[in-house]
Amino acid sequence: MAKFIGHSASVVVLAVLLVAVPGGAQEPTAPLADDAAPVQAQAGQQTLDLQDAIARDVLEPLQAGMQSRNLKQVLSVFDAQSAPSFPQLQERMKALLDAFASVQFRYKILQAGSEKGHASMTCEVDLDGIPLDSGQVPIRRSAQVRLQLTQTAQGWRISSYSPSDFFNP
């Protein structure tokens, strides 16, 4: 028991010394080399958060709308206020969806970045369509599509995309 008390007393003395001795328990003033890792991880997390938000607000609804051939859902991911020629876009999307019995839409996010309510994203996009008219040939399109996005009250919306003919019927 005396040995245990002696050990406890040593711990108390050490704790008192750390608190009482100036500089005994100071935090280092110079950053360590590994301190940059959390900043890089935070920037990487922001990119992932942006990608997740755009996938949730734009890409997933666009994919679901294309595959279900739901024009209203497809158009909901575009910002009608800032998208140039929105009425022509509506006509193009309607013609595309009306031409096919089945549409498959796949995407892979390659890059994303944002600044002050605007974002840009590059995706690898594949579009396959089986025509309603059995005499026509199925289509298969693959392209790197660049999206320009605007943050709205409803979330992220596409304001423009290129190549501009990707969704042509």
Tell me the backbone φ, ψ of residue 81, rounded to 5 degrees: -75, -40
Number of residues assigned to the chain: 169
What pTM value is reported for the model?
0.71
Q: What number is the average pLDDT over the span 111-123?
A: 94
CATH classification for the domain delimited by 45-162, as one of 3.40.640.10, 3.10.450.50, 3.40.50.300, 3.30.365.10: 3.10.450.50
Q: Is the pLDDT of residue 143 over 80?
A: yes
Q: How far apart are CA 147 and CA 153, in angstroms?
A: 19
**Percent share of the chain, pLDDT over 70:** 72
Mean pLDDT of 56-83: 95
